[in-house]
Structure 1
């Protein structure tokens, strides 16, 4: 699995870079895009025309006109087939999207826009691309802020509609900030802390507050959210590395392989070794 670090092109020094599928193909003549890769930055792509396919964290997606792909830092993905796809790709660092709501947490890796929304999304992407080019050729003190605001506008334009959760908080409710803090803490400590009480203590909230905020943002409780994050990382390690199960367990903060196996079996419905074998068979890995 290839680890991709954010390395901006010349002139793209503001943490946001705009390119397209054609540029991706020109830059990647050896087609390494078709192998699993794990970026430490965001990739947001909008398919303006053509068809293809993409995989992200063990899910395969067909691409067509109006498809939106959002790869978050740490996701393992590959561009299975984008030879016929055209449209913008936006690469950006996590810090480039400040002040955003928790809505992005519920967005999948791939979804579909109808034609009217696609047209507006392409206008927003074009505006971002023009400002990106202007910032590269003639940077000014407001360049970074402009790019950040236009990036947020593009994401708001393409985010999929999702049914409101029964416990969803109104806009501006503090539970949004609570969830964002919890999500950031989980991302930082999931391999060390496996109990919600650890996060509640560190963040200064009680467990019920974290649970309500997480349920309002994602539809699941705080413990389920945490367990699913640990499980996802376990699947990534089993599928994309040759680490023994015992080493995977240690990396994820389990005291022994038996506890890890019990956790994995309960969450995934199969032991880790069996899951690795099944996945390897499906993808050609032994």
Structure 2
């Protein structure tokens, strides 16, 4: 499978859009919606859209080089983005940006919805790739990647989904540009709901701000920052205060959250690559393979090798 080359400390393979279908879907369902079943010449470079029919019930943890918008109409599913966990219910949306650690599980049998995948450059006729996070805050690392919508808000979004599907299959003149415009307007509708719910406002006076911000920072820096004091300094609080607030909010210590992120990373590398245990240990900055084995077994109850065999 083609993946982006990793030249930094990052160890999880980053899936590219063109080779991602087999990872998240079963064989074509023949529903006729979007890319569920589509002729090659109708595909639009840098963009894919699917209904939930045929989606695999468990995905990841993994990373990808594209944006993702997941829309749930009926049913439920659990999503984890970095250290943040979200429960999809009817009329809910989650989003991810390139490079985020993502997983999905517990998909209910009655799940119904849509998801859109697109490359960073897909909307460049309307917005430069490096401005997407500023334009759409739910794609920013400090933003909230999950929201629940009112019925009329969801209808506005699904209307754009149906228009995109129509353009995709009818192959009218200029359909590529039309799809880009409809996608931009769809993201704008999500942004309007996001702002209406004031999800862009830092709730610094609440007990939820610090733990949420801490989780985002850990998801971003865990490969190089392993101490609670590192994150306390970023947040402008003492390590003791950070530990207390995080434990009161989550029931787990701040150091446990850092370990959780390391375990997620290690599991993804073990599951998706043939990298040796020794190499994983060194890339995750353990002093030696024995230390990594001990850490992994302590946190999961099994050795890295046993996990790989059963993955």
Pair in the same fold by TM > 0.5: yes
* 2:114 is the counterpart of 1:88: yes
Counterparts of 1:181 and 1:270 in 2: how far apart (Å)?
31
CA RMSD of aligned residues (A): 5.4
* 2:231 is the counterpart of 1:199: yes
Q: Is this contact kept in 2: 1:47–1:86, CA < 8 A? A: yes
- Which residue number corresponds to residue 75 of structure 1? 102
Alignment of 1:205-220 (within 5 A): 205-215=237-247, 218-220=250-252
Q: Is this contact kept in 2: 1:186–1:226, CA < 8 A? A: yes
Q: Is this contact kept in 2: 1:100–1:152, CA < 8 A? A: no
Partner-residue secondary structure (3-state), 1:230: helix
Counterparts of 2:161 and 2:310 in 1: how far apart (Å)?
43
Cα distance change, pair 69–257 in 1 and its aligned pair in 2 (3 A): farther
- 1:178-223, Cα deviation, whole Å (9 max, x unpaired): 3444233312321222221222234432113323443465453312
Partner-residue secondary structure (3-state), 2:68: strand
Cα deviation for residue 87 of structure 1 reads 3.4
Give me the TM-score of the superposition, normalised by structure 2: 0.53
- Which residue number corresponds to residue 25 of structure 1? 36
- Which residue number corresponds to residue 127 of structure 2? none
Cα deviation for residue 120 of structure 1 reads 5.1
Partner-residue secondary structure (3-state), 2:33: helix
Counterparts of 1:52 and 1:201 in 2: how far apart (Å)?
38
Partner-residue secondary structure (3-state), 2:36: helix
Cα deviation for residue 262 of structure 1 reads 1.2
Q: Is this contact kept in 2: 1:76–1:236, CA < 8 A? A: no
| Structure 1 or 2: more helix by fraction | 1
Counterparts of 1:156 and 1:259 in 2: how far apart (Å)?
46
Q: 1:187 aligns with which of 219, 244, 249?
A: 219
Counterparts of 1:217 and 1:75 in 2: how far apart (Å)?
23
* 2:157 is the counterpart of 1:97: no
Counterparts of 2:245 and 2:210 in 1: how far apart (Å)?
6
Q: 1:240 aligns with which of 268, 272, 287?
A: 272
